[in-house]
Chain A
Amino acid sequence: MKGFVISWFFPPINSSEGLVTFKLLKNSGIKHDVFTQNSNNNWSYNSSENYLKHENISTIFGKAESLDEWAQECFKYFDKHHKKYDFIMTRSMPPESHKAALLIKAKYPNVKWIASFGDPIADSPYTILSKEKSPHRLNEQSIFNNSLREIFSMKRFAKNILWDYKDRHFVAEERTKRRLEKDTLLYADHLIFNSSYQENYMLKDFSEQVKHKALVIPHTFDKDFYVNKVKTNRQSDKIEISYLGHLDYLRNPINFLKAIKKLQRLKTDNYKRLSVNFYGNIDNYSKIYILDNSLYDIVHINKPIKYLESLEIMQKSDWCLLIDANLSRVVDENIYFAAKIADYIGSGTNIFGITMSDGASSDIIRETGGIVSSHSVDEIFMYLNLITENKIQTKNKNTSKYDSRNAAKRYDDLVRKMMAEKNLNHKG
């Protein structure tokens, strides 16, 4: 049995998305060919990464540079080689992999298709939160802050229309994404989500028939990627907290930094006991905050590093830090499960998560024995004190669910069940 996997990101481009798929396929008992690309390494770990390979996986590189052309190229490849494959599996983001599968499904309706989702394609809470609203629209602020003249101003009205006009591309893009997401959910034979929160969010408006196709397979860690040794000898008596990954103006560490500032002011001894390292991109506002508040003696910003090196740093650290965006204005529960949490779990290091109280991240961190704080500065400050005073004990537990070997077994079971159903239908 052989599967045809479509994923824009896949090693040698070591992005988080690609690695999630690689870990799953590597541990699967099924052989896969992966249609990917090796020209665009945006969102990847350090590009000089060792090429992650496995005998079960062959890669085919599309040459097209635009996503749409790449999807077409993928379809053409499958069209030519379709006899080699028993099923297809697609992985977003970006969602063009599903687009390629829709083209394939239109021509080969009997091909079984598993669609796996990283983030929601449309109506992503993160995108909704990041979308700048028109400053000219009539909202509460403008009603009470401005005069009647401003409220009924033709100029304001015109500016608002102009803003909407400029915004039309985003609206149209979102509409296209919505259509693609809907078609994928309807036409794929099976759907893989990384958490039940994501599943519920994306399927809330769909029938039971569609919901019945869903399976949750979480992001996973792979034991083979970690350095096989116990914690190295400590270089210092400081407590090391590491954050690995991308931060931006929405998913920013500002409240964490404010809590460190509070520690510096109110509990200097605890402050001196701490060493914080960020690896990867960090937003400018946070960088300035670190400088302005003289936190640079304990807070260090480091360049992005190789994936395997990042796992080693997780192992060496005392605490792995997770920071999620505060999406409370858009959703009551955090629907995102950052893949780094699975790698953190695999490292066996304590996890300190700053995330929404309800949602995927907080459930997983609590389940595996880590600690969770809301975005409140005072709460983070409290936990930093407990950490620096060694008053908090965490226990790495319930981790097997996030082991890629176990996740791959579930994936293999799904594929076998799907193929058995297909064969049964053929015989029938």
Chain B
Amino acid sequence: MKLLTVAVPTYNTEKYLDRCLLSLLHDESVLDQLEIIIINDGSKDNSLSIARRYEKKFPGSIIVIDKTNGGHGSTINAALKIAKGKYFRVIDSDDWVNIIDFPRLIKELDKYDVDIVLTNYTRELVYEGAHVKFIYSDKIQYNKNYDMSDFDYKLFDDDYFFMATSNIKTETLRKSLLMLDEKTFYVDMEYVIFPIKEMSDFVYLNYDIYRYFIGRGDQSISIKSMVKNRKDHEKVLLKLLNFYKYTKMNKNKRDYVKKILVLMLNSHYMIYCGGKAENNLMKKEIKIFDSQLLENYPDLYKAVAKKFPYIDQYRSTKFLFTKSFFSFYKKYVNHQLRIRARGSL
């Protein structure tokens, strides 16, 4: 029986795909319980032939889907359709897994019947020549079942169920009718939020699984990419705001979704003020967005400014406040993050 399905979205990552697959396949003793679905999303390089080579070598564990380009969301949709594993997770093809903890996790998945099995992850900051281990608050206990309806999400601080930390029950994902947007960046937030309504419990295991490789300038999380793909960010954000408004959930889950949306809204404002605030088009865009937010989601409008006071200042200047202040603010935030990062190295 397959305990875990790993979806590996692949687009022009011939330089990295080997590393990802070698790490997943390292321990042969868990191959019977592991299903790897490599989704080649119309790569123009040799990614497909690399994937096929592994499929031929591990026919019982690897399936290759070759499709026309449709973006990250489309690859997850495709993998989810055919996944046979009890749990489902996504590992991007330029990332990899820790070869010690990954097999341990698979061996243990059989013991649990919860909606999410949470694990830790590490950011490999190749540019900085360092790595930062991500661990949820020590207030959350390992190996304990938590009921998500009455769980105190404040214990998560500013964290949530990240794509990199979540092994989600396949059945639960399907039940939530998860269909991610195609040809759109930042759909990982949809993946993180939409299934929440169907989920009832989770467990947190002390395994450091995901290795998130941050070393390429063209990665979608870089500020340059975020400015370029800001319309995608807005599209995903509006979809999630809609979900927040119209989906029935208990108060606890609702507060949790609200917390994530506040963080996402902050990122959205940061794209504009951290990017090119002088740019008239962008100024117009953020003005419209801000007024729509006030009209349709007044609670979130207030909440984001309460948590991130600079947004109020940004608004008070009618978005005329230029880059310098915000780049200063951004530097401050980055500095704080670095201090945090150093502490957990």
Contacts and interface: CB of A to CB of B under 8 A. Distances in A.
Contacts of A141: 335
B44 interface: no
Nearest to B208: A378
Interface residues of B, number: 27
A382 B98 CA distance: 8
Contacts of A374: 124, 126, 213, 215
A375 interface: yes
B211 interface: yes
Interface string A75-90: 0000000000000000
Nearest to A332: B217
A329 B122 CA distance: 20
Interface string B17-39: 01100110010000000000000
Contact of A391 (B26, B211, B215, B217): B26
A375 to B, nearest CB: 6
Contact of B335 (A144, A356, A366, A382): A144
B129 A382 contact: no
B213 A377 contact: no
A379 B331 contact: no
Interface in A130-185: 140-141, 143-144
B216 interface: yes
Interface residues of A, number: 30
Interface of B: 15-16, 18-19, 22-23, 26, 96, 98-100, 122, 124, 126-129, 131, 211, 213, 215-217, 331-332, 334-335
Output the residue of A267, A332, A373 with the most chain B CB within 10 A: A332
B338 to A, nearest CB: 9
Given A378-B131, A382-B99, A392-B22, A328 B15 contact: no
Contact of A357 (B15, B22, B211, B332): B15
Contacts of B126: 326, 328, 356-357, 374-376
Closest 7 CB pairs of A and B: A328-B127, A376-B124, A144-B335, A382-B99, A326-B129, A374-B126, A332-B217
Contacts of A381: 99
A269 to B, nearest CB: 14
Nearest to B122: A378
B26 A357 contact: no
A307 B127 CA distance: 34
A382 B15 contact: no
Contacts of B217: 332
A109 to B, nearest CB: 43
A140 B335 contact: yes
A385 interface: yes
Contacts of B331: 140, 143
11 contacts: A140-B331, A144-B335, A328-B126, A356-B126, A357-B126, A371-B18, A374-B126, A374-B213, A378-B124, A379-B96, A385-B26
